[in-house]
Chains A and B, each alone.
Chain A
Amino acid sequence: MTVRSRQIMALGSAAALGLLLVWGVMRLPDFGAYPESYGDMLNAAAVAERHVTNIPSAVNFDYRAFDTLGEEFMLFVAVAGLAVLFREQRGQSDRKNLSVVQVSEAVRWMGSGLIGFTVLFGMMIVLHGSLTPGGGFQGGLILAMAVLLIYLIRGDEAFERVSRRAFVEALEASGAGAYILIGLAMLAAGGMFLENLLPIGRLREVYSGGTIFLINLATGVEVSAAFVLLFAEFLEESRKPSSER
């Protein structure tokens, strides 16, 4: 294929894509318009029905809890697959390759100060999932970032110490398992899978929303452990001598 014909093809497809985009944009609803009724219905019903002020949490962990179960297990399976893939090729782990990180004094001080704050902030976001924006997913990732900060300022060895593999794996599995157990418990209590049968608590208190609160916690544990594990696997892989990779 000559350069000339390639250019013609690229221009042609760009023009076609541009036309499709313009056509699509022209048929969009007006800016800020919301033609569906699902959101309005939830906004009207969820606060009274579930005593939850963060409607996205009510959707994620109650009204569509089964969807979120799938989402959470996507992450779980991805991390498990990665671990299996990397561990298969791993010989004996070589601890000689542990690197000493060279970071500036400023980064170390700033990072050390930020770790405590990050942990606290992550816990707040997880715990207040049914009250304010955020929840298990966001808060869990923030918690994992605190562990990553330890790596950034202290290097491999400190990171290994705080992310003991067996512990993090158990944490991740129990977070994912708790989600299903909550669903099964509701089944045993005579409801449907993941139906919200717990007392919904008082509006605007940390415990509110019944299973929303619990599933939110389980998700927080699962997500934070999953990301720490993900990062630990990548680090270990990168530490191998390049001939083994």
Chain B
Amino acid sequence: MTVIQVVVFVLVAVCGTAVVLMREPYRQTFLLSLYGLLLSMLFVILAAPDVALSVIVVGAALPLMILTALRIVGKHST
């Protein structure tokens, strides 16, 4: 395992934990997209660019969907 692999592994672990621990939905969504970015970096470093692209795509779609859902929920609850 090279140094950069270790660094990105640790970053992914830290960010993943942060996503779980964050209780505020909006901030959690932004952390989630950061987590997706880190995860895709990890896959690029591990020489799996195809998987990395899938992660980027899911990482782009999921926060967008959550944000929209939050907006709709917020609109109806007020």
Known: A31-B1, A133-B50, A231-B68. 20 other contacts (CB 8 A): A99-B75, A125-B53, A133-B49, A134-B50, A137-B57, A141-B57, A141-B58, A141-B60, A141-B61, A142-B57, A144-B61, A145-B57, A145-B60, A148-B64, A148-B68, A227-B61, A234-B68, A235-B68, A235-B72, A242-B76
Q: Is the CB of A138 within 8 A of B57?
A: yes
> Could you write out 26 A-B pairs with CB less than 8 Å apart?
A31-B1, A32-B1, A54-B50, A99-B75, A133-B49, A133-B53, A134-B53, A138-B54, A138-B56, A138-B57, A141-B58, A141-B60, A142-B57, A142-B60, A144-B61, A145-B60, A145-B64, A148-B68, A151-B68, A152-B68, A231-B65, A234-B69, A235-B68, A238-B69, A238-B76, A242-B76
- When distances are taken between beta carbons in the complex, the residues of chain B under 8 Å from A151 are 68
Name the residue on A nearest B73 (C-beta).
A238
- When distances are taken between beta carbons in the complex, the residues of chain A under 8 Å from B56 are 138
CB distance from A216 to the nearest CB of B (A): 13
Chain B residues at the A interface, C-beta cutoff of 8 Å:
1, 49-50, 52-54, 56-58, 60-61, 64-65, 68-69, 72, 75-76
Bound complex: CA of A54 vs CA of B49, how far in Å?
10
- When distances are taken between beta carbons in the complex, the residues of chain B under 8 Å from A220 are none
**A210 contacts B by Cβ under 8 Å:** no
Counting chain A residues whose Cβ lies within 8 A of the other chain, the interface size class is 20 to 34
